[in-house]
Amino acid sequence: MTSDELLALLRRVVRRVGHDLWRLITATVASCLRWRVTGLAAEAAFFAVLSVPPLVFALTGAIGFFVREFTAVQMREIRSDVIDLASQAMTESTVNAVIAPTFDIVTKGGRLDVISIGFVLALWSGSRALNVFVDTITIMHGLGGERGIIRTRVLSFGLYILGLLTGMVTIPLVIAGPSLVRRWIPDRLDFLESLYWPTVLLLCVCFLTTLYHVSVPSRSAWRYHLPGAFFTIVCWIGGSWLLRTVLTATAGESTSVYGPLSAPITVLIWLYIVSIAVLIGAAVNASVDVVWPHLTNRSVRD
């Protein structure tokens, strides 16, 4: 093959790749507009926020069953940390009148009634948020109505529980940060620090890919849903960084009396960013299914 032929082949490949990428972008944008992902993301974020208070109540009711494992000194340190954390989002009077007495009450003994009611409400509202994702992902792949309401709801419950289990590992890691983890691990295991962020990202990618995979009634291979998962992770990181930058610049030194309101509003905005990233990632997977059907075995499934 001559250099001219090789150059011509390279141009055709670049032209074809550019054409396919443009089709992917336009198909993704069209899918997002057609299925109004902005409104659905707001709905999912609302129900996600709604699931937090009952989940906190349930976990609070369970604290009393584990208090006996801690010494009095450890409990005083935990109480101090909880009050310091609450003081960052609430006024001093609220912390002294509500948070501190509540902590003292719940640490005296477990409450099965609070645990039961809290988890039931958390499962309902949390699975409702996952139901938005499952329904939208199914419709984006052109398979709306293939799965019944009951099966969809059961799947949403299962995904919510899987999300809680994944969050039990990833959320403490993200909140603690690599510097705190470094203090927990022995010196001979310092090499584990380099695996910190890869582990967090891997867990998130696996959960998102599983969400996209099981949401489609007509299954394809698990790996075919990785593009949307990676796109969602990039959006999460970029959106979280942008939100933090904006809040730091606008509210970092604020002494307004409305400061305590910023915490729930920030959580809602962040959950909206998370939700819209998940839905756009689903649109990316659906567009890949259209642009490159031979890669996802769409023709076989059809």
- Report pLDDT digits (tens) over 141-166: 888 777 888 888 889 989 988 888 88
Rg of the chain's alpha carbons, rounded to an integer?
23
Q: How far is CA 218 from CA 141, 144, 174, in A?
A: 9, 11, 34
The two tokens of residue 152 are 């969809």
- Report the 10 Å Cβ neighbour count for 260: 13
Residue 258 CB-density burial (10 A; 0-12 exposed, 13-18 middle, 19+ buried):
exposed
C-alpha dihedral, 97 to 103 to 109 to 113, nearest 10°:
70
The domain spans of the chain are 15-46+147-301
pTM of the model: 0.78
Contact 125, 50 (CB under 8 A): yes
Q: Whose CA is closest to 103, among 136, 131, 77, 142?
A: 77
Q: 100-141, pLDDT tens digit by residue?
A: 887 777 777 666 776 778 788 888 888 888 999 998 898 888
CA nearest 206: which of 240, 180, 230? 230
260 pLDDT band, cuts 50/70/90, is low
User: How far is 227 from 288, CA to CA, in rounded Å?
Assistant: 8
CA neighbor of 154 nearest in space, from 180, 127, 118, 125: 127
Average pLDDT over residues 200-229: 89
The pLDDT tens digits for 62-108 are 766 766 667 777 777 777 877 776 676 566 777 788 778 877 777 77
CA 91 to CA 258: how far, in whole Å?
10
DSSP 3-state of 2: coil
Residue 300 pLDDT level (bands cut at 50, 70, 90): very low
